Amino acid sequence: MENLSLLSQICSCVTAVAAALVLLIRPLREWVSGASRLREGQKCLLRSNMLRTYYRNRPQQSIRQYEYENFVCEYKAYKALRGNSFVDRIYREIQQWEVIT
């Protein structure tokens, strides 16, 4: 009888832990997927701004110093967010341009 009582208590504890995990997993999944969407949004904004800077200055093949510094900061942030290599070519090209102070 004592073993049955102990087994009942163990089952009760396991059930309680399982129920708590179920309640915690959903918010955790939502938080992770939300963070992922934010990261993708940040990458999109960075890429968009870098492309705007690139196409605005491409005809004259020169860039103002503050724009260049901003571009480099954005590029580093983009790569830190695991941005793809699409912007690498543009970054290398801009590094060859004249920087106007």
Predicted confidence band at 73 (pLDDT cuts at 50, 70, 90)? Answer: very high
CA distance 35 to 46: 16
pLDDT tens digits, residue range 12-56? Answer: 888 888 777 777 777 666 666 667 889 999 999 999 999 999 999
Domain boundaries, the chain: 2-100
Predicted confidence band at 62 (pLDDT cuts at 50, 70, 90)? Answer: very high
Strands (E), 15-82: 62-64
The vertex-59 CA angle with 56 and 60, nearest 5°, equals 100
Structure tokens, 16: 């309680």
Mean pLDDT of 94-100: 96
Are the C-beta atoms of residues 65 and 34 closer than 8 Å to each other?
no
